[in-house]
Amino acid sequence: MTEEDWLRGRDPDGMLDRVEERFTARRWRLLACAAVRRRWEVIPAGPGRDALAFAEDHADDLPADAVEAWLDRLAAAVGPAADAARAAMLDLVRGADPAAAEQNTPVLTRPNQVAPAFPLFQAASRYAAQAVDASARHVELITDAVRALFGPPGRASVLRAANRAEEAEAARRYANGQANTALKLKHMADEAADRAATAKNKRLEESKAVEAVRKIDEGGGADRAADDDERIDREVRRAVARFLHELAGNPFGDYRFEPGWRTAAVLDLARTIDAERAFDRLPILADALLDADCDAEPVLRHLRGTEAHAKDKPAHARGCWVLDRILRPDDPLFAAAAKPASAKRPRRRGGPS
Ligand SMILES: [Zn+2]
């Protein structure tokens, strides 16, 4: 791993190798938390979100009894939350008759389901049922992601949390996609039923319906599942690399930070931003540092969001390396920089060349 590799962020495994010796339990936990918080909108309000906030606030030291209590709360909450997600989706797609997808009884007994439109009604029900199932599954997946935050801090928990969070996001996206398709099919089915009522050639109308369903199925079939897996993998890697940039900065660069830059104003601001997760105020912290004559470019650039390698918009998280540089100067991450400026430290113990 070279500095260029690190900054490019394409090899999260190699990046983890590079910094793991200097990662405390806290930093591992916060890395996992950041990967889950990235999908905040997928976490149902309630114990899942509360547990994530708790894990962040107690990243230094998660008491064993608290871990157990949270795992119990999460276990108790997942069923009702999945039911609620299922019910909300059911409301949305009720018109497409999701229950019909599970019954083997012919649906043709209903008056508006003229036979030639039947394939469309049937497909609408099928997509609606898939949407309902997936919306419950996303809750189970994101709960699993949150659960991973309470596992032993380390690489495995980070990857599990990041994977589950991305899978949950994919499941929710899938649920919404299937719901849209279900409603579209229902609309097409209603129109086809109206047309078929007066059509001379009912067989032609039916073959049109079959063809329409086939086209839609093609767009959402096995290929899409494979694309989703690839996308999930890509997103996990991206999230891990991105938050390694956030939590570890650049281990090839310098973490230089003069004690004189830690003025009362700087400390105050850094503490508030950290406690309140008010990362939008980081540019103000950059100003305070400039007032203290700070000239460390990596620090200032990180706070202003003008790092050359950062392609995505800034994604600050609890454990932001600059905030920690200010508030936790003894963190082992900065070990090399804490030594007197005797130029570069030798390569880390036992590290590969
Ligand atoms: Zn940051």
What is the distance between the alpha carbons of residues 18 and 2, in angstroms, rounded to a whole number? 10
Output the CA 155–ligand 1 centroid distance in Å. 21
SS3 annotation, 317-343? CCCCHHHHHHHCCCCHHHHHHHCCCCC
What is the distance between the alpha carbons of residues 139 and 159, in angstroms, rounded to a whole number? 18
Note the pLDDT of residue 199. Answer: 83
Res. 118: pLDDT tops 50: yes
What is the distance between the alpha carbons of residues 182 and 198, in angstroms, rounded to a whole number? 25
339 pLDDT tier (thresholds 50, 70, 90): very low
Output the CA 97–ligand 1 centroid distance in Å. 48
For 163-177, what is each residue's pLDDT tens digit? Answer: 999 999 999 999 999
For tokens 């590290």, the residue is: 351
The more confidently predicted of residues 222 and 27 is 27
Q: Let me know: does 55 contact 41? Beta carbons within 8 Å.
A: no
Output the CA 233–ligand 1 centroid distance in Å. 24
Task: Name the pTM for this structure.
Answer: 0.88
Output the CA 320–ligand 1 centroid distance in Å. 4
Output the CA 292–ligand 1 centroid distance in Å. 20
Output the CA 325–ligand 1 centroid distance in Å. 11
Output the CA 315–ligand 1 centroid distance in Å. 7
Amino acid in the structure at residue 45: A
Give mean pLDDT, residues 52-66.
94
For 8-26, what is each residue's pLDDT tens digit? Answer: 999 999 999 999 999 999 9
